[in-house]
Amino acid sequence: MKIDAFCHLLPAAYAERLFAIDDSPVARNIQKRVSGVPALVDMDERFRVMDEFGSDYRQIVNTAAPPLDDLGPAARTAELARIANDGMADLVSRHPDRFAGFCAAVALDDVDNAIAETERAFDELGAVGVQIYTHVGGGPMDQERFFPFYEAVARRGNKMIQVHPCRDSSWSDYKTEERSKFEIWWTLGWEYDLSAFMSRLVFSGVFERLPDIKILIHHGGAMIPHFAGRVGAGWDQLGTRTPADQSDDIAGYPLTQRPIDYFKKFYVDTAYFGAGDAMRTAIRFFGVDHTLFASDTPFDPEKGPGYIRDTIANLQEMDILDDDDREQIYHRNVTDLLRLDGAATRSNALEDEVLS
């Protein structure tokens, strides 16, 4: 059994509304990108892709980037969230053999509305979590105004926050330039975004204040596991590199553990696009118990199956894992984390039906 815990799609009504937006450069960009990835919208094509991996392969889905906050005024983004969540809930309800759940879309340009929509998605639609991005309007996610949102999710206990990066080419690579070149903003910038998001949440004390919060970081925790020495011994010396007149830059919530210990409280996925050595490093850093199988489908060159196939191959070949470890990563961790009791039941029922 494999539950792919971070997959993207666009429900039909949401895609129609998204494609009707004509006053947003961000919307035009996703309109162009989606047109080349049919499995985002066409469920027949998506199911054809999924069939390669057998009846025990299922997905937890969310909407594809960009963040709703970037698509216009608050009234529009709130409408888009409702349409997206209603659409994902409908797909999960009609295809439980394909989808194990969905993570709600929210627009954090209005925190109160985001909390209300999150709670509606949890209580009325059965969402297993909520997807957010690494910044809102270019601002950091450790601002105190976002704390009530984190608190609202944390108190549910069995719901997770998925975190996706979101910078674009307007984030230049150098101070002297106006735009990022060669898609560096995507290849490297997104991983910096995720790493900075994690760091700001750690030093803002989110795990001290909300010890039950469950945050899943996309792309295997990005840069953090690969710079463990700097995150560990380096940040143990926080303040030694900062001049006295810049002391406000290192003022954060009082922590009771080493910074590196808080980073290991994040959950991460296996969306490494076939980079097995990088995945191995992440699993060693965060641990098997904090690693969830995920592929980031359907954004591979094949528009669907490639990253799923490569991720499974990486896990099967990884000599630091035994069969029990693989079972944990493939489905047990996410099932336990989100209390997906129905997931195993439906899978077993399908298996019994096939056998009979």
Domain definitions of the chain by residue range: 2-355
- pLDDT tens-place string over residues 50-60: 999 999 999 99
CA distances from 91 to 9, 64, 102, 341 (A): 10, 15, 9, 19
CA distance 129 to 160: 5
**Taking 60 as the threshold, does the pLDDT of residue 126 lie above it?**
yes
Interval 79-102 mean pLDDT: 98
pLDDT of residue 342: 53
**Taking 80 as the threshold, does the pLDDT of residue 45 lie above it?**
yes
Per-residue confidence at 346, pLDDT binned at 50, 70, 90?
Answer: very low
Taking the CA atoms of 156, 194, 11 and 291 in sequence, report the sign of the dihedral they define: negative
Percent of residues, the chain, with pLDDT higher than 90: 88
The pairing of strands 99-105 and 129-133 is parallel
Contact (Cβ atoms closer than 8 angstroms) between residue 61 and residue 6:
no
85 Cα distance to chain centroid: 16
pLDDT of residue 347: 38
218 Cα distance to chain centroid: 4
pLDDT greater at residue 66 or residue 84: 84
- CATH code of the domain occupying 2-355: 3.20.20.140
Q: Where are the beta strands (DSSP E) in the chain?
A: 2-9, 57-63, 99-105, 129-133, 160-164, 215-217, 267-269, 291-292
Interval 63-88 mean pLDDT: 94
pLDDT greater at residue 345 or residue 117: 117
Eight-class DSSP state of 191: H
Eight-class DSSP state of 98: T
Cis previous bond, 66, omega within 30:
yes
182 Cα distance to chain centroid: 24
pLDDT greater at residue 34 or residue 1: 1
pLDDT of residue 7: 98
Per-residue confidence at 35, pLDDT binned at 50, 70, 90?
Answer: confident
Per-residue confidence at 74, pLDDT binned at 50, 70, 90?
Answer: very high
pLDDT of residue 350: 39
